[in-house]
Chain A
Amino acid sequence: MASLTANNQILNNNESKDDDSFKQYISFNIDKEIYAVEITMVREIKGWIPTTSLPNSPDYMRGVINLRGVIVPVFDLRTRFRHGKTTPGKTHVVIIVSLDERTIGILVDAVSDILTIAEDEILSVPDKDVNPEYVFMEGLVSVDKKMVAILKPRLLFNMDDVPETDVNAA
């Protein structure tokens, strides 16, 4: 984890020098599917720790964890994609993502890579307009002949519905 964070740092530094049309993504997998989120959103990657479940919450909401004194909700991406519930073990990781003023955790099987992707490499999702469910997908990209779906975590867990609250209260 430490090395990865350090890596991020270097990559982030490089990014600023790079052409603006390139962006970096962290890719991770659930079963054989590969997904990615923009690296600038990722705060850290944490091994799975048991959560405290919240009553009356959606099934993909795994509960909350204590991230250095801040209560952070953890979402199960597998459940969100309707592939059942993850049974987390030692290899599972939680990607801690910053969405503006909120911090959330996404439970995935494993982190796989850091990708540098040019904007024009990102292909559109077929039938995106037809199926409103697909709004959380920014686009698709082919890396080493494998498809990677780029996600927009904000839309994935409906964080826009969350009412405005006092940030200091945390």
Chain B
Amino acid sequence: MSDSMEQFKVIFFEECSELLVSLEEGLMLLQSGDNDEETMHAVFRSVHSIKGGAGAFGFDDLVSFAHIQETMLDEMRSGTLAIETKYIDVLLKAYDILVELVGMAQRGEDVDPDYGADVARAMKDIMNESDQPTSEIETKSEKKVKKVASGKTTHIFKISFKPYVELYQRANEPILLMRELQNLGELTVEIDTSALPDIEVMDAEHAYFNWDLWLISDVGENEIQEVFEFVEDDCDLNIIDLGVYLSPDDFVEDDQAGLFDVQDNSASDVKATKTVEKEKIPSTPQKKPKAEETVVSQSIRVELDKVDKLVNMVGELVITQAMLREQGGQLLVEQYPNLVQGIEELSRHIRELQESVMAIRAQPVKSVFSRMPRLVRELTSSLGKKARLVMTGEETEVDKTVTERIGDPLMHMIRNSVDHGLEMPDVRKANGKTEEGIIHLSAFHRGGRIFIEIEDDGAGINRDVVLQKAIENGVVTAEANLSDDEINNLIFMPGFSTAKEVTNVSGRGVGMDVVRKNIQSLGGRISISSTQGKGSKFSMSLPLTLAVMDGMVVDIGQEKFVLPLANIIQTLRPANRDVNMLPDGRSVMMFRDQYISLVPLYEIFGVKDAVHNPCEGLVVVVEGDGGVLMGFIVDDLVNQQQVVIKSLESNYELVEGISGATILGNGRVSLIVDIATVQTMMTNKHFVSENNGQNLSKNSDKSLPQAQLSMEIH
């Protein structure tokens, strides 16, 4: 039992996070002046469901806070409290506290009894101000009066309800559900006890009863469905809309009128008749069974673990397929035509299978974006600025391995936009802009990658300040003649911050360089464009998944390494005259009218028996950080293939210069080269070699000491 309780808790918290997202969305909509009734209901439902679930698990602090919030929402919903922006602001604050309370409940932390008390107070004050009865029961009865008076069409619903034994095990009570239904309209209850066995053989913990419920109400089918929200998996439930209800006077036949003579005793308790009455459905003029609409929804909830396993398994399949292909390539088509053709087909199917499986795990970026409105709210209130966050393309899907890791960089960039980008309201006004700045966060797919852009209408980058700062920091020389774009991109340099003062938001010098590093470690790129006075736009592109990658397998000595294909520009064997040595021992090569550094991978990775002379091996020209070209010296190319990325860290630790591992067709592990860190390793190495006057680039089989290779960690 305790195990299954834990399991339900997990589900509850999963649902909570979804509900919180929709709650926030709804509140934001309301705040923007969209007083749609449906939105109001959705907001109310979210809080209500959280409260309900929390009650089941005994999270009392959560329940009592959610209750106040719910009551306030209910008043708004019923119209006793106006939907005003200042009230919504309070509700947004309450939302923030609710998020925290859910978090604390999830982590099993104790809640400070005063936590959120001020906001709770504020909500109560608002409700008292409005001088209306606040108790839930009163509003409910009020609602009922309204309902009777309203001219909405009233329908008859037949609800067949057959609880499973699990329903009782989860401490749900059919009577409570029926009472709730009663709140929606006139309810007639019939119980079917035919399944009840003799008392000798009866199992007290078994579920024997079925109910047929007739509800006369003006609510929609969805609202009835909602009553059963928490039990729908634990019962057979069938809700049929039998059509418009005509008052008893309209019925000609007596027995039908008798069945529905409920108008007089509308507040009566649930009536239970112990007889089984078969198919006593009143025939109404507009009988329209909506069978299709009661079909279960077209999505299922699956544990992420299961999907991950599936993704891993397909990954294995890709590896096996690569092996088969490798072996099959040696067969003669004439000899085994069917086998060769079979392998080809298998490859195609596996590729398709892989795409489908990856699609299952794809998530809309909404899961990340949804954290941003709150961030902007917090930032604007602490900085005294005004900003509105507009989001588009939230439905754009990307693998969860990516969504998991773009949250932090994205938050950093939003923070940057609000703090550095947007001006103070008075400055904006003076410049002829609206006081409220707009930050536009968007996502879209293009060319097999996902693009995320953050655009603000703020001051833009002050290139003079940036350039000045860069010269001060020695990043560029005073004589350097940089293009506007180049100056903009200086903000990605380490330790660069143009904030005049360090705020508690940003400006500590840990800035955009870290963002860029994070994005690059995901195989992404980031760039900025900016117009002074008009605003800036950051745009980043990321791979759709981190689970697979197109790679180039290369030989270095006895080892095989994988280079990310996305970074490869060209592969060539240089002529002797193209390779030159710099005084510090570095080799450079002429490539497309510029000298590029040659990177001795064999040395960086300490591989024995590798080709040292680039003119005897090959040079793979790759693009590193900031578009810097480098030439990686390798022995030979093996092939180009899709590789499944596996983590070294899960069982060992991060290895510098290596982003992960993969399994090749022969079953051996091969390491994937992390181009950005190799670049840093090279840079640091030269820094050291220049300072010590040592020539570290001389061929040596010993790997370099860790200290010299360790990259700067910010």
A52 within 8 Å of B (CB atoms): yes
B577 within 8 Å of A (CB atoms): no
Complex formed: what's the CA distance from A63 to B606 in Å?
Answer: 13
A70 within 8 Å of B (CB atoms): yes
Complex formed: what's the CA distance from A53 to B671 in Å?
Answer: 9
Chain B: CB-nearest residue to A58: B706
Complex formed: what's the CA distance from A165 to B648 in Å?
Answer: 10
Across-interface contacts of A166 in B (CB, < 8 A): 404, 647, 649-650
B650/A163 in contact, CB under 8 A: no
* Cβ 8 A contact of A170, one of B319, B401, B651: B651
Interface centre among B654, B655, B669, B670 (most CB of A within 10 A): B669
Complex formed: what's the CA distance from A50 to B661 in Å?
Answer: 16
Chain A: how many interface residues by the 8 Å CB criterion?
31
* Cβ 8 A contact of B653, one of A69, A72, A162: A162
B651/A102 in contact, CB under 8 A: yes
* Cβ 8 A contact of B669, one of A55, A64, A170: A64
A169 within 8 Å of B (CB atoms): yes
A57 within 8 Å of B (CB atoms): yes
Across-interface contacts of B651 in A (CB, < 8 A): 70-73, 102-104, 170
A71/B656 in contact, CB under 8 A: no
A56 within 8 Å of B (CB atoms): yes
A65/B653 in contact, CB under 8 A: no
B655/A65 in contact, CB under 8 A: no
Chain A: CB-nearest residue to B655: A54
What mask results when residues 37 to 80 of chain A are scored 1 for a CB within 8 Å of chain B, else 0?
A: 00000000000001111111100000111101111110000000
A73/B652 in contact, CB under 8 A: yes
Across-interface contacts of B319 in A (CB, < 8 A): 69
B312/A69 in contact, CB under 8 A: yes
Across-interface contacts of B647 in A (CB, < 8 A): 71, 165-166, 169-170
Chain A: CB-nearest residue to B666: A66
What mask results when residues 631 to 660 of chain B are scored 1 for a CB within 8 Å of chain A, else 0?
A: 000000000000000111111111111100
Which of A57-113 touch B at CB < 8 Å? 57, 63-66, 68-73, 101-104
Minimum Cβ distance to chain A for residue B309 (Å): 9
Answer whether A168 and B308 are a contact pair too, CB < 8 Å, given A52-B668, A71-B650.
Answer: yes
Minimum Cβ distance to chain B for residue A140 (Å): 29
Chain A: CB-nearest residue to B304: A168
Which of B385-412 touch A at CB < 8 Å? 401, 404
Across-interface contacts of A104 in B (CB, < 8 A): 651-652
B315/A69 in contact, CB under 8 A: yes
B652/A64 in contact, CB under 8 A: yes
Across-interface contacts of A169 in B (CB, < 8 A): 401, 646-647, 649-650
Across-interface contacts of A65 in B (CB, < 8 A): 669
Interface centre among B605, B646, B658 (most CB of A within 10 A): B646
B606/A56 in contact, CB under 8 A: yes
Complex formed: what's the CA distance from A165 to B646 in Å?
Answer: 13
A6 within 8 Å of B (CB atoms): no
B559 within 8 Å of A (CB atoms): yes
B657/A55 in contact, CB under 8 A: yes
* Cβ 8 A contact of B663, one of A63, A66, A167: A66
A52/B655 in contact, CB under 8 A: no
Across-interface contacts of A68 in B (CB, < 8 A): 316
B667 within 8 Å of A (CB atoms): yes
Across-interface contacts of B312 in A (CB, < 8 A): 69, 170
Answer whether A52 and B559 are a contact pair too, CB < 8 Å, given A64-B661, A66-B668, A69-B319.
Answer: yes
Q: Could you list 12 A-B pairs, sorted by A, with CB under 8 Å?
A: A50-B668, A55-B655, A55-B656, A55-B657, A55-B658, A56-B656, A56-B706, A71-B648, A72-B651, A73-B652, A167-B650, A170-B650
Residues of A within 8 A of B (CB): 50-57, 63-66, 68-73, 101-104, 161-163, 165-170
Residues of B within 8 A of A (CB): 304-305, 308, 312, 315-316, 319, 401, 404, 559, 604-607, 646-658, 661, 663, 667-671, 703-704, 706, 709
* Additional 20 contacts, C-beta under 8 A, given A52-B671, A70-B651: A52-B668, A54-B658, A56-B605, A56-B656, A56-B703, A56-B704, A64-B669, A66-B669, A69-B312, A70-B650, A71-B646, A71-B647, A71-B652, A101-B650, A162-B653, A165-B647, A169-B646, A169-B647, A170-B647, A170-B650
